[in-house]
Structure formats: C-alpha cells, structure tokens
C-alpha cells in the first residue's frame, strides 16, 4: 500500500504522535540535509492530516450546535 494511502487511514492521535516524533528528531539535530528535508516533508503531511481531522471535528460540532 502506498504511503499516502496509509496516511489517510491514520487517526488524529496517530498522526499527532508521529508529528511529535518528527519534531523531536528535527530539534535534536544530527541529521543530514536530505534526512531533515524528508522529515520536514513528513511533518507537513502529518500536520495536514491533523488539521483535516480538526476541521472535520469542528464541522460536526458546529452542525450539532446548529441543530440544538
């Protein structure tokens, strides 16, 4: 299964936890430029997944509050 297809199946919590690890690794340093760029790109994708999940949750909450 391609990585992007796997990413679409990540829960918010899984994506957030992976993003935390990416940030930790980047903050520690000691990676090559290529590794850092790869980690940065991975972090951007994980952040997108998290934002999409949060946006969906906000829409559901707004819909529920609108029905009240």
Domain spans, the chain: 12-67
Q: Could you confirm whether domain 12-67 is CATH 1.20.120?
A: no
| Total residue length of the chain | 68
Nearest to 10 by CA among 46, 54, 55, 61: 46
**pTM score, whole prediction:** 0.82
Per-residue pLDDT of 14-67, as tens digits, reads 999 999 999 999 999 999 999 999 999 999 999 999 999 999 999 999 999 997
Residue 68's pLDDT is 63
């Amino acid at each position: 299964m391609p990585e992007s297809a796997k990413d679409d199946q990540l829960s918010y919590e899984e994506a957030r936890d992976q993003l935390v690890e990416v940030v930790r690794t980047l903050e520690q340093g000691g990676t090559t430029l290529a590794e850092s760029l790869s980690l940065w790109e991975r972090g951007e994708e994980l952040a997108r997944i998290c934002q999409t999940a949060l946006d969906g949750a906000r829409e559901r909450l707004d819909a529920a509050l609108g029905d009240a």
